[in-house]
Structure 1
Amino acid sequence: MRFTANLSLLFTDLPLPERFQAAKQHGFEAVEIQFPYELPAEQILELLDHQDLQLVLFNVDADTLLQGGEGLAAVPEKRDQFKAAVEQTLAYAERLKPCNINVLPGRCLNLQRLGEYKATLLENLDYAASAFAELGIKTVFEAVNSHDMPGFIVDSSLGMLDVLAKVDHPNLFMQYDIYHMSRMGEDCGGFLRQHMDNIGHIQFADCPGRGQPGSGAVDFDALFDIIATSDYRGWVGAEYRPTADTASSLAWLKTYAVK
């Protein structure tokens, strides 16, 4: 098991540049960032090199998605803005060389246009997958639960499989988030066993609450055993909100990193 620290949710008592050192000090060999664009790529590269860390994943910009908006990847009127965001990501990716780039499908807030939004998402995922393939970087996309983010276009494992089949691009994979799919009441273990070949990245948090392992009801012993004994060779991202400070939430790391 190879774990990454998601620096957008962990060590948030520190400024982003200081979180790299904190992750290294607490036993992580790799990190991921939701949106790294507040820092220049060269500064991030220096921070990674100084701590001997690998950057595993970051997202294409999603506009105002986290503030309640629809995002970029599925909005027909924002096709050009999405392509500009992909260009920005490419510039960062050329310097930082992540394993994966994540595209957030986003919301549709007018259900009468849902079909149009879904068609735009397929086009944009194909565009991104081709663009990042030139750098040898996997393109991933994820389902987000509709309780935390109502109107999210892809909110289930079956929805991800449908998108994957329709885009049918060799450089497009699923990003599987254990928290989001647990929140939707899905059988995470069964899905991981069956579809690991199509998963490019895995993230986790406990459910409910989105805290660290042990703070909720998810059986991480079983799920991490499935991952560890599968053919999956990617990283597993700790993308949770610590119930207290991050350092005191990391007991799980000593338990599972040795498996």
Structure 2
Amino acid sequence: MPRFAANLSLLFTELPLPARFAAAAAAGFDAVEIQFPYDYPAPLLRDAAAAAAVDIILINLPAGDLMAGGYGLASHPARTAQFMAALAEGEHYAQVLGVQMVNVLAGRFDPQQDAALTRQTLAANLALAGEWLAVHGIRVTCEAINNLDMPGFVVSTPAELAAVLAEVAHPNVGMQLDLYHLARMRLDLAATLTQYLSQTGHIQFADCPGRHEPGTGELPLAQIFALLDELGYTGWCAAEYKPATSTADSLSWLASWY
């Protein structure tokens, strides 16, 4: 089985974020990721992770108004200054927290902006982030998010993301694949992973439908993880799901797969 990490933005939310590191360690996780850590001082989170002996492997760059229904920062032609500020803040947190990867959320299309220019802006910003963070040994990823849960997202499939990354053409920028988002787009998980794994730096998962823990939906996750082993994937697979009840009650899969 791959190495599993806990997404602390969706798991252990019964606790404040600094206390979730110890809870994740007690549950058996050696590593965690955080979507947006910016409400807490970076040193506080670093110390909490160190005390729990877990690694923080990934954070997202700040995404502006994206999670509130807006267009975000990374692909909007009129928001390059805000993206630069987000990159600087994300760089600071990534260095303090010692993360391996920083994920850039592409954002939504603004109907007032040209679609081709929107994609070009995303490619330029990803190249900038890749170059900037390479200095610190931090890899940049970008993910395709399904356009059912997030209508208007700029990259909704790995094929669309691959086209953007071909324009980026930077060795420090790659894909993040989320099995839930792939399933929501009705893609063949095995075929998609086989095709794009060489470009993939990080994988996330939740069952589908529902985006809950493994075993609550229809995805053959055990088979997919076995395939990742066969394909030689050595990265992390992060549990980014919404527990159907409590986090503790949702973790039976972890013991069965380790």
Which band: TM-score by shorter chain?
Answer: over 0.9
| Matches for 1:96-115 after TM superposition, within 5 Å | 96-110=97-111, 113-115=114-116
Aligned to 2:58: 57
Tell me how far apart the structure 2 counterparts of residues 179 and 111 of structure 1 sit (CA, whole Å).
Answer: 30
How far is the alpha carbon of 1:99 from its aligned partner? 1.2
Aligned to 2:10: 9
How far is the alpha carbon of 1:126 from its aligned partner? 0.5
| Matches for 1:1-259 after TM superposition, within 5 Å | 1-110=2-111, 113-256=114-257, 258=258
How far is the alpha carbon of 1:200 from its aligned partner? 0.4
TM-score by length of 2: 0.97
Larger mean Cα displacement after TM superposition, 24-33 or 87-96 = 87-96
Per-residue deviation, residues 89-144 of structure 1 (Å, max 9, x unmatched): 11111211211100000001307621121111111010001111111111000000
Tell me how far apart the structure 1 counterparts of residues 46 and 109 of structure 2 sit (CA, whole Å).
Answer: 35
Tell me how far apart the structure 2 counterparts of residues 232 and 221 of structure 1 sit (CA, whole Å).
Answer: 15
AA at the equivalent of 1:155: S
Give structure 1 stretches of 5+ with no counterpart: none
Describe the shift of the 1:206–1:111 C-alpha distance in structure 2 as closer, same or farther (beyond 3 A).
farther
TM-score by length of 1: 0.97
Aligned to 1:201, the other structure's residue is in SS state: strand
Give structure 2 stretches of 5+ with no counterpart: none
AA at the equivalent of 1:113: D
Larger mean Cα displacement after TM superposition, 170-179 or 110-119 = 110-119
How far is the alpha carbon of 1:232 from its aligned partner? 1.6
AA at the equivalent of 1:63: G
Tell me how far apart the structure 2 counterparts of residues 38 and 229 of structure 1 sit (CA, whole Å).
Answer: 39
8 Å CA contact retained: 2:66, 2:72: yes
How far is the alpha carbon of 1:231 from its aligned partner? 2.0
Describe the shift of the 1:112–1:101 C-alpha distance in structure 2 as closer, same or farther (beyond 3 A).
closer
How far is the alpha carbon of 1:242 from its aligned partner? 0.5
Aligned length: 257
